[in-house]
Amino acid sequence: MPAMEAPRVVQSVLSPARAATRQKVIAAAIELATEGGYDAVGIRPVAARAGVSVPTVYQHVSSKDQLLAEALMMLGSRSTEGVRRRRPAGDSPADRVVRVFTRILDEAAAKPLLYQALYRAWVAALPGLVGGDAALGLGPERAQWIGEALRAGPHDGHSEEDLDAAARILSTLFLGAMVGVAAGRPVREVVAILDEASHRLLPAQLAP
């Protein structure tokens, strides 16, 4: 990043109309990145795809990297909503979270250009995000859906502290896993590592 202050993602309460416009802008960025990667995304192409003016886009974001970082956070929020709507099956927290890991990594593998663009932008924008008051989405401790998956069924024998610690560690590991898959690492290889880590962190509890 340049020496100037990096753009900061600011989450605020928007009117329904502005919220809808923001969703269209982010959706356009996701579509362009899916089709052509990082270089295909720009403020003007996004405005054209979203059917809004360039100044309108700048009302929501100050740069291409901030826009893609917002897109990454929106996808993370969708993952959390998805886990809440469709609770993953599994008898243990580790089983459940691995199911969700597998689903999301499969999705990332199917759209490598998108996730390469998202993580490139996230790394570039990160200096401006750190220390903000808003929830920043996909930082190491911010993958909220991981905690939701761990708690989506029985977790007898594992305290809330156990689950919180596992969520922090797995969130950090998952960040590396997503980057690896976006770069072409086989999903099954990455899932095997996450599966082992999850079950070591939260081993199945033996019946007394």
145 occurs within a structural domain? yes
Q: Select the more confidently predicted residue: 134 or 12.
A: 12
The per-residue pLDDT for range 56-72, each reduced to its tens digit, is: 999 998 899 999 998 99
With a cut of 70, say whether residue 7 has pLDDT above it: no
Of the listed ranges 75-79, 109-113, 161-165, the least confidently predicted one is 75-79
Q: Report the CATH number that the domain containing residue 150 is assigned in CATH.
A: 1.10.357.10
pTM over 0.85: no
In the block, tokens 């560690």 appear at 169
2 occurs within a structural domain? no
69 occurs within a structural domain? yes
195 occurs within a structural domain? yes
With cut-offs at 50, 70 and 90, classify the pLDDT of residue 73: confident
In the block, tokens 């008051």 appear at 133
Q: Measured between alpha carbons, how far is 48 from 194 in angstroms, rounded to an integer?
A: 40
Residue 71, burial from CB neighbour count under 10 angstroms (0-12, 13-18, 19+) = buried
Mention every residue, 6+ apart, whose C-beta is less than 8 A from residue 36.
113
3 occurs within a structural domain? no
Q: Select the more confidently predicted residue: 5 or 152.
A: 152
Instruction: Output the pLDDT for position 133.
Output: 42
- Whether 25 and 36 have beta carbons less than 8 Å apart is answered as no
With a cut of 50, say whether residue 4 has pLDDT above it: no
188 occurs within a structural domain? yes
With cut-offs at 50, 70 and 90, classify the pLDDT of residue 208: very low
The per-residue pLDDT for range 101-151, each reduced to its tens digit, is: 999 999 999 999 999 999 999 888 876 655 444 444 444 445 788 999 999
The percent of residues above 70 in pLDDT, for the chain, comes to 84
6 occurs within a structural domain? no
24 occurs within a structural domain? yes
Of the listed ranges 50-54, 179-183, 202-206, the least confidently predicted one is 202-206
Q: Which domain holds residue 175?
A: 16-201
∠ CA 29-31-123 to the nearest 5 degrees?
50
Q: What is the average pLDDT value for the chain, to the nearest integer?
A: 85
Instruction: Output the pLDDT for position 157.
Output: 85
Query: Domain tally for the chain?
Result: 1
